Amino acid sequence: MIRNINIGLIGYGFMGRTHSNAYRQTPQFFECDVKPVLKACCARNEENIKSFAENWGYESYETDWRKLLERDDIDAVDICTPNNLHKEIAIAAAEAGKMILCEKPLAMNVAEGEEMCAAVEKAGVPNTVWYNYRRVPAVTLAKKLIDEGRLGRIFHYRANFLQDWTISEELPQGGAALWRLDAKAAGSGVTGDLLAHCIDTALWLNGGIADVNAMTETFIKERVHQETGEKQAVTIDDACSFMCHFSNGSLGLFESTRYARGHKALYTLEINGENASIRWDLHDLHRLEYFDHNDESQVRGWRNVHVTDTDQPYMDHWWVPGLQIGYEHTFIHQVADFLQSLADEKPCGPTFRDALETQKVCDAVLKSADDKAWVGI
Ligand code: SOE
């Protein structure tokens, strides 16, 4: 029997668009008895949210998220707001008995994240956090290969997330589109925004992190705040690197920055095991590089696997072998998995509780950079 899930989406920025696109496309490509309905979207600016609703086909809109939560015809709340609103909305949504899909990072810090986990668990509502890169088919394939034991003992995990969009001193901080540069709205800089992705994938692929040693830098110390027009101190981290020990004994190295001139969104990861290694690069996201030491020595080398075949993760839902998909599909996969998890009555990872683990590493990284010391998780 078909069951409709009425979505109420809060926020209409970049992530509001990726999620809305995913809700629209998922039923066309993934068969499931649970279907999303674009019931309502919500933001304070009426003119903007009205045109967002028209563009994406939402049946209605609200200008106050509390009103959205009061509505009986909303089943699931999708939180695409700046990070400083995640906690309040998520807890209220849980208390109203709504399912919750929350943009990453889960919260501003661990304390907030813990309250959010307690709220969804008390209410017993399905919940998930949009760490979308897990659902790039090549990354999901990496997970499969690791779980099959092909890499053997893992020695090293390396990940980077490099951007260059904040190098200009003229760029303001805060307000629409630039809230990621304002610690009051974002919680942190690249640590919560970019490294959080790398950490989520790492915990998923390589297990827990035991301790971290980090450094952060804020290269531009003052910027005009968009809302006040005043020059204010910049309190986010512009760059952050850390090393860590994983619980499985492997060593980790992570780097993220918005000051890597020439790199727009270069997320790369590499894992070196006893028997095999894996490498992946967001700029070439449909490829997985794989080196298997068990190959016959004369032809041994890095394989470049084009992850587009029907026996590779998610790809049986798309075109024909050889034809690739892209960034927006990772969100479609998350919606498809979420709907299927409802049908199966199972959790859809990363749940709030899973994402809290990423939050713990982020907080430890920031503390380590402040204290100039190793911090245990
Ligand atoms: C920042 O520029 C950003 O948009 C992040 O907020 C996203 O989570 C990341 O996927 C791409 O970069």
- CATH of residue 234's domain is 3.30.360.10
**What pLDDT is attached to residue 223?**
97
User: Do 362 and 268 sit in the same domain of this protein?
Assistant: yes
User: Do 78 and 141 sit in the same domain of this protein?
Assistant: no
Instruction: Please give the residue range of the domain that contains residue 281.
Output: 133-376
**What pLDDT is attached to residue 95?**
98
Q: How far is the CA of 276 from the centre of ligand 1 (A)?
A: 30
Tally the C-alpha atoms within 13 A of residue 184's C-alpha that lie toward its C-beta.
8
User: Do 27 and 106 sit in the same domain of this protein?
Assistant: yes
**What pLDDT is attached to residue 307?**
98
User: Which residue among 76, 103, 132 closes a domain?
Assistant: 132
User: Do 113 and 181 sit in the same domain of this protein?
Assistant: no
Q: Are 205 and 369 in contact (CB under 8 A)?
A: no
- Report residue 181: phi and psi, to 5°: -95, 0
User: Do 121 and 153 sit in the same domain of this protein?
Assistant: no
Rounded alpha-carbon distances, angstroms, from residue 55 to 38, 48, 59, 122, 123 = 12, 11, 11, 36, 33
**pLDDT tens, N- to C-terminus, the chain (377 residues):** 899 999 999 999 999 999 999 999 999 999 999 999 999 999 999 999 999 999 999 999 999 999 999 999 999 999 999 999 999 999 999 999 999 999 999 999 999 999 999 999 999 999 999 999 999 999 999 999 999 999 999 999 999 999 999 999 999 999 988 999 999 999 999 999 999 999 999 999 999 999 999 999 999 999 999 999 999 999 999 999 999 999 999 999 999 999 999 999 999 999 999 999 999 999 999 999 999 999 999 999 999 999 999 999 999 999 999 999 999 999 999 999 999 999 999 999 999 999 999 999 999 999 999 999 999 99
User: Do 54 and 143 sit in the same domain of this protein?
Assistant: no
User: Do 70 and 219 sit in the same domain of this protein?
Assistant: no
Parallel, antiparallel or unpaired: strands 231-233 and 76-79: unpaired
Q: How far is the CA of 39 from the centre of ligand 1 (A)?
A: 26
- Assign 193 to helix, strand or coil: helix
User: Do 272 and 172 sit in the same domain of this protein?
Assistant: yes
d(C-alpha 349, C-alpha 245), whole Å: 23
User: Which residue among 85, 107, 132 closes a domain?
Assistant: 132
**What pLDDT is attached to residue 14?**
95
**What pLDDT is attached to residue 290?**
98
Q: How far is the CA of 85 from the centre of ligand 1 (A)?
A: 18
- Give the residue, out of 162, 167, 193, 197, with the most ligand 1 atoms within 8 A of its beta carbon, to mutate for a pocket test: 193
Q: How far is the CA of 190 from the centre of ligand 1 (A)?
A: 9
Domain tally for the chain?
2
Q: What is the position in ligand 1's atom list of the atom closest to the CA of 165?
A: 2
193 lines ligand 1 (CB under 6 A): yes
User: Do 140 and 119 sit in the same domain of this protein?
Assistant: no
E strand or H helix at 348, and its extent? none
User: Which residue among 132, 150, 183 closes a domain?
Assistant: 132
Q: Are 239 and 257 in contact (CB under 8 A)?
A: yes
**What pLDDT is attached to residue 308?**
98
DSSP state of 194: I
Parallel, antiparallel or unpaired: strands 3-10 and 76-79: parallel
User: Do 195 and 106 sit in the same domain of this protein?
Assistant: no
User: Do 163 and 283 sit in the same domain of this protein?
Assistant: yes
User: Do 150 and 206 sit in the same domain of this protein?
Assistant: yes
**What pLDDT is attached to residue 222?**
97
- Give the residue, out of 182, 194, 195, with the most ligand 1 atoms within 8 A of its beta carbon, to mutate for a pocket test: 194
d(C-alpha 274, C-alpha 292), whole Å: 10
Taking residue 148's Cβ as centre, other Cβ atoms within 10 Å add up to 8
- Burial of 293-305, coded b for 16+ CB within 10 Å and e otherwise, reads eeeeeeeeeeeeb
Return the CATH number at 64. Answer: 3.40.50.720
Q: How far is the CA of 88 from the centre of ligand 1 (A)?
A: 22
Say which residue the tokens 């970019």 belong to: 194
DSSP state of 107: -
